[in-house]
A and B are shown apart, each in its own frame.
Chain A
Amino acid sequence: MINFQHHEMLTNLANAVEQIAKDHMRPFTREVDEKEHSNPDQYVKTMYEVLKMTGGAMSSPVMGAKQEGEKKRRTGNVTSVCFVEKLAWGDCGMYLATPMPLLGGAAVGAAGTPEQKAHFLKRFQEGEPKWAAMAITEPGSGSDSGSIQTTAVLEGDEWVLNGEKIFVTAGKRSVEESEGFVVVWATVDRKAGRAGIKPFLVDHHTPGMTVTKLEKKHGIRCSDTAVIVFENCRIPKDYLLGSAEVKPSASAAGFKGAMATFDATRPPVAASAVGVGRAALEYTRDYLAERGVTPRYGINRNKLTSTEKELMRMEAKVKASWLLTLKAAWMADIGEPNNLEASECKCLAGRDMVWVCQKAVELLGPEGYSRRHLVEKWMRDSKIGDIYEGTQNIQKLVVARRIFGYSREQLA
């Protein structure tokens, strides 16, 4: 039955997460933006304790997202997007600095052996805060991840990694500042194209792995975006995630399987965009209300002021992106293929939350441009939602291929 009410338990948990966002993120949100790459210590400590206490309940939904064959109705994906939306509402950069397995964990959760899960994920239940990262992008390889140049060569019982990875979210925190890990995508056979590309698990402080740079960014400045160089970096043979077999590129099942991780991680990314958009919407609404501007719902639209109209559009767009995100997550929970919906929600939320935040700056006039208010920060933070985990155009490509049933060769 069509129902937009969440389970009471989820509602309560989400409220608790929002309280964390209010108490431990918002008070520092300007500070961590101004002091780029500084650590939001209080938030990290608090959150890690919460995550440990709840048995990682807040990280496991993404990790377990692609388990097949479960008859029981799962709620992990819906739960996950609800939490992410709240945290991003608090501060998107800080959310990305949450000490949890995030994307790296999602990959291990989706494709890892029981031993790999035990070794790489169990550590998030104990000790000091830890992070995990995903390293795919290279200077010459973006959304066309089939063109990855980083190599992995098997020498005896070890894989030897060589190459350079960029745009690694939480890269430094994962491999140098904590006892975390990074999932590195490398080719075992360049001639095999996509079929030769495999994810490898690299533990923190592994010799041969160096963080050479932290990017200075438009927004989400609290999040560390690292360049990581691998020079003869040796890892155990069984740190390969998934099968080592190089299948013919026509099927490229291993690659596709790993890429399917994105069906589980795009909705949370959409949720993070929505969180930022909602923050900007609420701030704008309150700011205007304090100055006597309250939208008049129900009257003829030609009578509305442009401010009222824009505010209403912002409301509708935030909700539309959110509902589409929930839909994609819900489909994953009931085991429906959600490739199209996952890309749709990411595409829409990415695009429209940028619009919402830009509008917020506009509606506050000169005040909106001032760093005294947060809307300009949210506008900068929102733009990444339109880019990472596949740009708006890439999402459209995925959606269009699904609509027409085209392969990537037919619609490039």
Chain B
Amino acid sequence: MFDLEPTEEQQLMVQTARELAKNEMDPKAHDADEAAALPAEFLKRSWELGLACAAIPEQYNGAAMERSAVTGALILEELGAGDLAMALAMLAPAGVAYPVLDFGTEAQKEHYLRACTGNEFPQLTAALMEPDYDFDPTALRTTAKKHGAGYVLTGKKCLVPNGAAAETYLVYARLEGAAEGFDGVAAFFVPKGTAGLTVGEKEKNMGVHALDSVSLTLANVSVSPDARLGGEGPIDFERIMSYARVALCALALGVARRSYEFSVEYAKERKTWGQPIATRQSVAFTIADMRMELDAARLLVWEAAWRLDRGESATKESYVTKMIVDEMVLKVTDEAVMIMGGHGFIRENPVERWLRNARGFAAFEGLALV
């Protein structure tokens, strides 16, 4: 039966995420952005809450929460409302853990899932995006060529979250000779220090300054046969991308919601000619629009997530949803800047950061997973 009420368990996790966002992320986001570094101990502290990889089963010492994209979407909205850079950093290990959970060999599960259930923040991250205007997950330019029993990887990657500190990268590549499409994509574990792998400087992006993201260059990087995710069998890369789109959309909902809430408060306080600007239709209607588009987008995200939880394909749904959500978050954050007028352009006010962060979603693919 049609229902939009999260379960009690989901509400508890949302509450945990909301408190983290309110206490550890939002108040520290400005300084972190200016310093282009995460707050000290942030990864450690957020990791201890167990929000990022909660669905790892008990046999790997995990919290064994139900694997649910809906739950993930609920949590990620809260984290996105806290701070996008911090959220992407704390979620980076999930970009490895969940594909391993879904498609990994037993040995890979033992190794990587256990690494994601310890007390220490795991230095694992995924490398999917490539530095091209037409970067396309179905037409990756990074290739994997069969060489003896193993593979040789060649290509470039960008926006690899936590990339400098990471010790192992899960690198996505198109199998040589495979046609374009989701099917010809495989993923390989590449430890830092592997010959031919160059980790670039920390990237300087328009937004998400605090995120330690890097580019990677792979020049004939040889990996062993057991470095391939899932062994010789195929992975469902199409599905991984659907999870990733839901995750990014949920984060975008959070960024938009925070901007909306901030605008509501500001419009009630800021007065012109003796009246709060919220009493002016031009401002009030803009804020009503923000709310309406946010509420509608959230349902699209939940619906795509719900499809994934039912085991259905959500390729179409997550794709068109991301198209709408990317536009929505840009519009909402842009309006938030406009409502503040000149103040909105000043970096002391968070709306300008939210606008810079929001623009990233149109480019981001596969930076987080639920």
A: residues with CB less than 8 A from B are 1-7, 75, 78, 297-303, 309, 312-313, 315-317, 319-321, 323-324, 326-327, 330, 334, 341, 344, 347-348, 393, 396-397, 399-400, 403-404, 406, 410-411
Contacts and interface: CB of A to CB of B under 8 A. Distances in A.
Contacts of A347: 288, 292
A2 B250 CA distance: 15
Given A319-B303, A403-B287, A303 B136 contact: yes
Contact of B2 (A5, A320, A393, A403): A5
A9 B241 CA distance: 34
B40 to A, nearest CB: 37
Contact of A344 (B70, B285, B295): B295
Given A2-B3, A3-B306, A410 B182 contact: no
Interface of B: 1-7, 10, 70, 133-139, 182, 238, 241, 264, 267-268, 278-279, 281, 284-285, 287-289, 291-293, 295-297, 299-300, 302-303, 306, 315-316, 319-321, 323-324, 362
B138 A323 contact: no
B319 A7 contact: no
10 closest residue pairs by CB, A with B: A323-B299, A300-B136, A400-B284, A320-B296, A399-B288, A316-B320, A316-B324, A400-B288, A396-B288, A297-B319
Given A298-B241, A323-B299, A399-B291, A2 B320 contact: no
Nearest to B307: A4
Contacts of B182: 298
B292 A298 contact: no
18 contacts: A2-B302, A3-B306, A5-B2, A6-B2, A297-B319, A298-B182, A303-B134, A312-B323, A313-B324, A316-B300, A316-B323, A319-B303, A320-B324, A330-B3, A348-B292, A399-B288, A400-B278, A411-B281
B282 to A, nearest CB: 11
Contact of B1 (A3, A323, A393): A3
Contact of B3 (A3, A324, A341, A399): A3
Given A316-B324, A327-B4, A4 B303 contact: yes
Contacts of B295: 324, 327, 341, 344
B268 A396 contact: no
B316 A2 contact: no
Task: Summarize A's interface: helix, strand, loop or mixed.
Answer: helix
B320 A4 contact: no
Quick one: which of B134, B293, B295, B321 has the most chain A CB within 10 A?
B295
B292 A404 contact: no
Contact of A404 (B138, B238, B268, B324): B268
Given A312-B319, A317-B324, A344-B291, A299 B303 contact: no
A299 B139 contact: yes
Contacts of A327: 4, 295, 299
Nearest to B320: A316
Given A323-B299, A344-B292, A403-B288, A300 B4 contact: no
Nearest to A302: B134
